[in-house]
Amino acid sequence: MQIEQRSFLVTGGASGLGESVVRAIVAQGGKVVIADLNESAGQVLVDELGDNTRFVRCDVTSGDDVQAAVAMAEEAFDGLQGSINCAGIAVVQKLLDRENNPADLEAFSRGVNINLVGSFNVARLVAASIAKRVAASTTAEVNADNGIIINTASIAAFDGQVGQGSYASSKAGVVGMMLPLARELTRHGIRVMTIAPGVFATPMIQSLPEKAREQLEAAVPYPKRLGNPNEFAKLVVHIIDNAYLNGEVIRLDGAIRMV
């Protein structure tokens, strides 16, 4: 699918990987609705990037919020061709603490709700918008690459570490739902892909203590550094462009395997 003149919903687009995706799509002549909880950062980005962007305050776990974001893209940009779901949080807690007290169930659920249920919520509403447009069109065809849904998992889906029970299971869920969704959406010409990033230099990682960041960097075989968010955005651009990529999860991780 070409990016120029097409419009995309980027959740979590006000920061980190999502922000980088927003910049890359706009640089290619595409249009973006940034859907994020962070209003001030989202507005700063729209002010900088101009008319091909809009911001909407959106919690990905809310049906009403995501529907409003989809409606904004349909109205402002005359239709929506896909979504890149980057909204996410990292809940870190062990099953048992130092005194053997059990983990907080609400914290576990919050991570699963935002990372997994939020991804499903965005996928269902974006797919409905694209499928209805295709059904109403006299020119659209099933093989015409009508839409693309890209979700962000994590290598934690495969190599979860101690303390990542919520995070790893939420991301494994993102990987697991991809194939059924990709299979179902073939009849609408909509592809579903997942990227599993390793460790990227974003506010999520930069907020870690310096020692923890250094350890992460040292664990990457090659290149021996954190991933640059631009490298994530380049993969998103390629996935959108390459119509034969469907129903697959791509690790983008400098060969790191977490232990």
Ligand X SMILES: NC(=O)c1ccc[n+]([C@@H]2O[C@H](COP(=O)([O-])OP(=O)(O)OC[C@H]3O[C@@H](n4cnc5c(N)ncnc54)[C@H](O)[C@@H]3O)[C@@H](O)[C@H]2O)c1
Residue 216, token pair as written in the block: 């992460």
What is the smallest separation between the CB atom of 123 and ligand X, expressed in angstroms?
14
Contact segment (CB under 6 A) with ligand X among 14-22, 72-80, 157-165, 239-247 equals: 14-22
Q: Find the farthest-apart pair of alpha carbons in the chain and give their distance in angstroms, rounded.
A: 65
233 belongs to the binding site for ligand X (CB under 6 A)? no
Which range in 1-9, 91-99, 110-118, 121-129 contacts ligand X by CB under 6 A?
A: 110-118
Q: Does 230 bind ligand X (CB under 6 A)?
A: no
Q: What is the DSSP code (8-state) at residue 98?
A: T
Alpha carbons within 13 angstroms on the beta-carbon side of residue 30 total: 28
Check if 244 is active-site. no
Which residues, 6+ apart, have CB-to-CB distance to 24 below 8 Å? 230, 233, 234, 236, 237
Task: Please state the closest distance from residue 154 (CB atom) to ligand X, in A.
Answer: 4
Are 157 and 174 in contact by the 8 Å Cβ rule? The answer is yes
Q: From the CB of residue 120, how many other CB atoms can be counted at a distance below 10 Å?
A: 17
DSSP 140: -
Q: How far is the CB of 137 from ligand X (least distance, A)?
A: 30
Instruction: Give yes or no for residue 253 binding ligand X (CB under 6 A).
Output: no
Verify binding: residue 200, ligand X, rule CB under 6 A.
yes
Binding site for ligand X (CB under 6 A): 11-12, 14-18, 36-38, 58-61, 86-90, 114-115, 118, 152, 154, 197, 199-200, 202-205
Which amino acids are annotated catalytic? 167
